[in-house]
Amino acid sequence: MTVVSRFAPSPTGRLHVGNIRTALHNFLFARQHGGRFLLRIDDTDRERSTAEFDQAIREDLDWLGLTPDAIFRQSERFDLYEREFERLKAAGRVYACYETPEELDLRRKILLGRGLPPVYERKPLDAAVPECRTPHWRFRLDHDRPIVWTDLIRGEQRFDPKLLSDPVVRREDGSWLYLLPSVIDDADMGVTHIVRGEDHVSNSAAQLQMFEALGATPPQLAHEALLVAAEGKLSKRLGSLGVQQIREEGLEPLALLSVLARLGTSQPVEPFTRVDELAATLDFAHFGRAPAHFDLHDVELINARLLHGMDYAAVADRLPADAMEADWTLLRPNLQRLSDFEQWFELVSGDIVAPDLSDDDRRFVIVAEAQAQQIDWSGEPWRDLTEALKASTGRKGKALFMPLRLALTGREHGPEMSALVKRIGKELTLTRLRAAGTH
Q: Can you say whether the dihedral through the CA atoms of 94, 99, 104, 105 is positive or negative?
A: positive
Q: Which residues of 94-114 are buried (b: 16+ CB within 10 A; e: fewer)?
A: bbebbbeeeebeeebeeeeee
Q: Per the annotation, does 426 bind a ligand?
A: no
**Whether the Cβ atoms of residue 382 and residue 405 lie closer than 8 Å to each other:** no
What is the SS3 assignment for 131? coil
For helices 78-90 and 179-189, give the axis angle rounded to 10 degrees: 100
What is the SS3 assignment for 357? coil
Residue type, 14: R
Distance CA 361, CA 404 (A): 9
- Closest Cα partner for 212 from 122, 125, 124, 91? 91
Q: Can you say whether the dihedral through the CA atoms of 424, 425, 428, 433 is positive or negative?
A: positive
Distance CA 7, CA 15 (A): 8
Distance CA 183, CA 161 (A): 18
DSSP lists the bridge partners of residue 139 as 94
End-to-end CA distance of the chain: 69
Residue type, 279: A
**Whether the Cβ atoms of residue 327 and residue 423 lie closer than 8 Å to each other:** yes
**Whether the Cβ atoms of residue 135 and residue 96 lie closer than 8 Å to each other:** yes
Burial, 261: exposed, middle or buried (Cβ in 10 Å; 0-12, 13-18, 19+)? buried
Distance CA 338, CA 348 (A): 17
User: Left if phi > 0, otherwise alpha if psi is -120 to 50, otherwise beta: which for 418?
Assistant: alpha
Strands 168-170 and 232-233: unpaired
Query: Where is the binding site for ATP, in residues?
Result: 236
Query: Where is the binding site, in residues?
Result: 236
